[in-house]
């Protein structure tokens, strides 16, 4: 069974938010891998956060992207395990049975992603903490902790609806690289004006309520 057009577009949106972690490759050692993984993680989770807050993606897509980020980093970091001195055990303890890539994944990355998912699911918005990454003598730099606020305002929700509605009325696509669906039925200028005016009024009302 082929995927629906909506599902295909959602998949493209999610993939576009994971470009940094998806490109991770080529590390020869665990130490090199973790040094590459941290900035890729930071870039992707911040892009997901921005896309959610500005209404580009909804709760379902944001959570899908966060889970995809976890998967990308797991596959990259776990792939370095097997060489002498490396080990991976899902016990969250940083020791000889859970070496540096395992330690980073279970103690820094996954708690931060789980906190973000919980914040996305929170009605009215919430703030999640991205945990500090502690540096080591093998090249991993310390990266301070920071917070991300996850909140879609009513204006942003209406903005997404407005964009979709205008796209449907005009046959234009808001997504670069995705062809618009041709409009085969005519729409009177009066109906178009009334429809857009109604949506604009909704934006104003939502903006007032959110203040």
| Eight-state DSSP code of residue 109 | I
Using the predicted structure, report yes or no on whether residue 171 has a pLDDT greater than 80: no
* pLDDT tens-digit readout, 31-79: 889 999 999 999 999 999 999 999 999 999 999 999 999 999 999 999 9
Q: What is the pLDDT of residue 81?
A: 85
Which residues on adjacent β-strands are paired with residue 95? Answer: 98
- Specify the pTM: 0.68
- Kindly indicate the confidence band of residue 169, based on its pLDDT and cuts at 50, 70 and 90: low
Using the predicted structure, report yes or no on whether residue 144 has a pLDDT greater than 50: yes
Name, of 40-54, 81-95, 168-182, the range with top average pLDDT. Answer: 40-54
26-30, long-range: CB < 8 A, 24+ apart? 27/76, 27/80, 29/80, 29/83, 30/77, 30/80, 30/81, 30/83, 30/86, 30/99, 30/100, 30/101
């Amino acid at each position: 069974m082929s995927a629906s057009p909506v599902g295909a577009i959602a998949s493209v949106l999610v993939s576009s938010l994971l470009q940094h972690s998806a490109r991770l490759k080529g590390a020869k050692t665990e130490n090199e891998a973790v040094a590459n993984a941290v900035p890729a993680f930071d870039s992707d989770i911040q892009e997901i956060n921005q896309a959610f807050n500005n209404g580009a993606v909804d709760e379902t897509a944001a959570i899908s992207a966060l889970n995809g980020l976890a998967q990308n980093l797991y596959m990259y970091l776990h792939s370095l395990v097997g060489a002498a001195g490396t080990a991976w055990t899902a016990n969250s303890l940083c020791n000889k049975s859970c070496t540096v890539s395992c330690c980073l994944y279970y103690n820094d990355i996954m708690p931060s992603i789980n906190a973000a998912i919980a914040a996305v699911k929170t009605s009215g918005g919430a703030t999640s903490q991205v945990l500090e990454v502690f540096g080591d003598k093998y090249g991993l730099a310390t990266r301070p902790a920071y917070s991300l606020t996850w909140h879609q305002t009513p204006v942003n929700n209406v903005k997404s609806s407005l964009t979709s509605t205008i796209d449907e009325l005009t046959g234009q696509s808001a997504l670069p690289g995705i062809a618009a669906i041709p409009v085969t039925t005519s729409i009177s200028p009066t109906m178009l004006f009334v429809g857009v005016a109604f949506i604009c009024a909704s934006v104003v009302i939502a903006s007032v309520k959110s203040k």
